[in-house]
Structures are given as C-alpha cells and as structure tokens.
C-alpha cells in the first residue's frame, strides 16, 4: 500500500479528542485497512464461509476477510451470499437495534451496505424503505437490495423533506448522513483532497437539516439513529447537540456494542486504533412517548392482478397473495402490505419487479429471480463454477432440460433467468449485469 499524505490540520483538529492517543491514531490512519464482509442471512450459503476470518464483535453476520482470499472476485458475491462492508460501518445498524416486523426508513442509504444489513436483520418480517437523493446512487442502492434478495423493501430517490406526509409512520429511522468522510482516508485517498475545516462545517449544516426532516417521521416511542464515517466533533456531537436543542421530544438513549464499549450521552465512537475498522460515529435517540406507528394509506391492487398471478404460476410457486400486485411502467411489481402509499415521492422500485409486460406475454424479471430459492422455481438449472462464469458473461449454456423459463443457480443461490430451448439455455441476465463481476 502506498503511503498516503494526510493534512496536518486534520490531525490537529482531533488533538483535543484523542490526547495521548494521537500517535496511535496517526499510525493507524497511515496503515493498511482491514477488509470485512457480512454473510446474507436471507441466502445461507456454506461455501461463503471460506472467506470468513475472525468475527466482527458487534455484528453477528460480520467477518473479517480471511487472509489470501478475495471475496470480491467470487460468483458468490454476484449471487448475493454476502456484502463487502467496512466492519466499523456495521455499527450503525447494530445501534439502530431494530426487530423483525418493524417498519424502518434508511434515509441516506446508498450504496446499500446498511440497507442490506437492515433487511437481513428483518428476515422478511417488516418493511424497509431505503432512500437516496442522488439518482445514480439510488440505482446502485436498488441493485444492492436486489442482489441481496430483499423482497420486503422499496427504494426511493427523494429529498428528506419529501417524506413530510409520512409523519409517525416508522418505528425506526437511520440517518447515515453524508459527511466529510475522514474515516475513508485509508480506503479512498481522494477524500483527503476534498477535506478542509470549511468543508466539515458545510457538512454539519446539511446534516442538521436532514435530521430536522427525519425527526417527525419516527413514531412516538421509536428510535432515530444518526451515524457518520467521520471523526470531528462538529459533524458528530455538535450536530446532535443542535438537534436536541431544537427537538426536546428526543432524548439520548444509552447502548453498548460488543468489542467497542458503552455510549456516552447516546453517542459512541469507533476509532481505527482501537478497533479493526475505518472508524465511525453512532448516536441513538429515542422519541419520547409511546404510540403505535401511524397506519398510512397503502397501495391498491391492479384490476388485472389475478390474471398476472395465474401467468406467474407457470414460472414459480411463490405465493403472490402476500403483497399487492401493481403495474409500474412496463413491469408488474409485488408491493409489501406495510409499504405506505408514497404519493408523489419518486420511486426506483415500490416492491419487487416480478415480470415485464411484453406483447402477449409476461417475461419474469431479474428481481423476482434474486428473491427465489431453487425450490420456488418450477425449473432450475444448477450450474457448476465454469458454466456459472459463462452465464455471468452473458453466454448461452449447453444443457438439456424441460423447455421454458428456468432459474439459473450456483451453490444453491439464484443468478438470474434463462430460457431452455432444445439443448440450449438462452441467457436472460440483464445486459447491465453481464461481465459486472470479474469472477
């Protein structure tokens, strides 16, 4: 790893926080980062354990990458068996401490690490609304949740202020705020060039505005968690103190994370010289009172829903009555019953795309494939590694089988759709995903 150059002003800005730990912190910031990942509880896969080294103490599905392994080059990543994520970034969802059955909002969610972590902990029970304001990043977020096989979610591309009609709808809200990224210096040296004291102050202004918009969305008795991947007090304790002054209905709530320690005034820091990770700040706040979440209006099923359900049964045995079937552009989506009617909020997806409406027929969608197991599909092609690599490159696979739409799998996990015709399995992996993984 090449030596990175970090401005002296950055270290000086943290001297009052770190005191005699400054030398250890400086050494850590100039050292090599630790790689980590989370196994996907929605897609158990024994083969993924080959990459697992030591456990991440504060996340039950988290592991440091085993030495001399490269999970980012594995077919298993394409299949959604795990998500590569900095270990300290896993602390925010651990602090959110949500439960299956709850309705969660991840307000600043791209590229999707924390959203997939939330979805994994929900285990299909409850609902996640994941939002990202930047359109290109919102697409990355949707792709991450798609690959993870998270069916109980929707993805929006909106400003925090756009959610004002959803007051009290969420049990818990996570604000992983855009920040100056001081904790990313080791992994992303470009962040160093963007850093300045003035930039950290501008970030704090934006962070306070996002928290102000998030405050009414949490039901009374619910939790608002705030996190950054930066170290300075202005973007962390300073933002929280300003928020609490403006919102007396919130109080800090103490918590503890294994391997990190106990919070102080609801705030907890992960420093790279104390834990194996890039660093993070997390705060947990409780809205005072005790009220159930507000039941917002939900989507109504399309009049042709029964017809679509019958056609989809020719592809898989999944029970589509667990949600609401709606038309979205050229796609049929299955919207979770806990998803509120999002009105004019711009959506990337309101649920799981089940099929594309082609002239005279339905074509099963990739999102549906990634939510299935081989047992859900009426036809499945279980590929070995060599054939799976060819499939991911967009190639046709030579094999015999029953004609029709076929779920393509590797190590028991879905990769996408193929269509069996004679002795060939035609490739229907979306073109944008072909060659995306250098397996």
In a domain, 147, yes or no: yes
Domain span holding position 185: 8-287
Q: What is the pLDDT of residue 151?
A: 93
> Active-site residue among 179, 203, 229, 347?
229
Choose the final residue of a domain: 287, 314, 331.
287
Clarify whether residues 393 and 272 are in a common domain: no
* CATH number assigned to the domain comprising residue 146: 3.40.50.150
pLDDT at residue 325 is higher than 70: yes
Clarify whether residues 264 and 406 are in a common domain: no
pLDDT at residue 437 is higher than 80: no
In a domain, 306, yes or no: no
In a domain, 349, yes or no: no
Clarify whether residues 394 and 261 are in a common domain: no
Q: Is 229 a catalytic residue?
A: yes
Average confidence (pLDDT) over 126-146: 98
Q: Higher model confidence: residue 208 or residue 327? A: 208
Clarify whether residues 139 and 279 are in a common domain: yes
**Closest Cα partner for 53 from 75, 40, 73, 69?**
69
pTM of the complete model? 0.96
Domain count along the chain? 2
In a domain, 316, yes or no: no
Residue 390 — very low, low, confident or very high, per pLDDT cuts 50/70/90?
A: very high
- Measuring CA to CA, how many Å separate 433 from each of 143, 148, 396? 10, 15, 15
In a domain, 310, yes or no: no
- Measuring CA to CA, how many Å separate 297 from each of 156, 161, 300, 366? 17, 19, 9, 28
Choose the final residue of a domain: 271, 287, 303.
287
* Each residue's pLDDT tens digit, 176-185: 999 999 999 9
How high does pLDDT run on average in the chain?
94
- Measuring CA to CA, how many Å separate 132 from each of 37, 139, 176, 262, 422? 22, 9, 11, 30, 44
Strand ranges inside 263-313, DSSP E: 267-270, 280-287
pLDDT at residue 439 is higher than 90: no
In angstroms, the CA 169 to CA 338 distance is 10
* Each residue's pLDDT tens digit, 153-187: 999 999 999 999 999 999 999 999 999 999 999 88
* Each residue's pLDDT tens digit, 32-51: 889 999 999 999 999 999 99
Clarify whether residues 282 and 379 are in a common domain: no
In a domain, 390, yes or no: yes
Clarify whether residues 244 and 110 are in a common domain: yes
Choose the final residue of a domain: 287, 322, 341.
287
* CATH number assigned to the domain comprising residue 393: 2.30.130.60
Clarify whether residues 29 and 156 are in a common domain: yes
In angstroms, the CA 330 to CA 353 distance is 10
Clarify whether residues 279 and 378 are in a common domain: no
In a domain, 336, yes or no: no
């Amino acid at each position: 790893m090449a030596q990175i150059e970090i401005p002296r002003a950055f270290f000086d800005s943290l001297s009052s926080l770190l005191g005699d730990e400054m030398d250890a912190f400086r050494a850590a910031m100039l050292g090599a980062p630790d790689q980590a990942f989370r196994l996907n509880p929605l897609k158990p896969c024994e083969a993924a354990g080959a990459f697992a080294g030591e456990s991440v103490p504060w996340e039950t599905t988290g592991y440091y990458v085993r030495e001399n392994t490269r999970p980012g080059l594995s077919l298993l990543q394409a299949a959604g068996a795990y998500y590569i994520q900095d270990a300290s970034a896993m602390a925010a969802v651990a602090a959110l401490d949500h439960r299956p059955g709850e309705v969660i909002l991840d307000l600043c969610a791209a590229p999707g690490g924390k959203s997939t972590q939330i979805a994994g902990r929900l285990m299909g029970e409850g609902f996640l609304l994941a939002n990202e304001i930047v359109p290109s990043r919102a697409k990355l977020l949707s792709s991450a949740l798609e690959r993870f096989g998270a069916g109980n979610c929707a993805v929006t591309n909106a400003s925090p202020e756009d959610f004002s009609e959803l007051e009290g709808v969420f049990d818990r809200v996570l604000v992983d705020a855009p920040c100056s990224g001081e904790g990313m210096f080791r992994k992303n040296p470009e962040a160093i060039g963007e850093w300045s004291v003035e930039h950290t102050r501008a970030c704090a202004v934006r962070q306070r505005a996002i928290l102000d918009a998030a405050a009414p969305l949490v039901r009374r008795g619910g939790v608002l968690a705030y996190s950054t991947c930066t170290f300075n007090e202005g973007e962390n304790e300073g933002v929280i103190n300003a928020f609490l002054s403006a919102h007396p209905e919130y109080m800090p709530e103490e918590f503890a994370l294994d391997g990190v320690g106990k919070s102080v005034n609801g705030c907890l820091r992960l420093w790279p010289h104390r834990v194996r990770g890039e660093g993070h700040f997390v705060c947990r706040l409780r809205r005072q009172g005790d009220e159930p979440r507000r039941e917002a209006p939900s989507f109504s099923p399309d009049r042709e829903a029964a017809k679509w359900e019958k056609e989809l049964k020719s592809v898989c045995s999944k029970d589509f009555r667990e949600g609401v079937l709606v038309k979205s552009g050229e796609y049929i989506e299955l919207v979770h019953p806990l998803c509120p009617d999002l009105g004019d909020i711009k959506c990337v997806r309101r649920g799981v795309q089940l099929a594309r409406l082609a002239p005279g027929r339905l074509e099963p969608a990739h999102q549906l494939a990634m939510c299935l197991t081989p047992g859900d599909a009426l036809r499945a092609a279980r590929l070995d590694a060599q054939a799976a690599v060819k499939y991911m490159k967009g190639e046709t696979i030579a094999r015999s089988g029953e004609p029709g739409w076929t779920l393509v799998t590797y190590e028991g996990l879905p990769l996408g759709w193929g269509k069996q015709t004679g002795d060939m399995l035609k490739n229907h992996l979306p073109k944008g995903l072909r060659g995306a993984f250098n397996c």
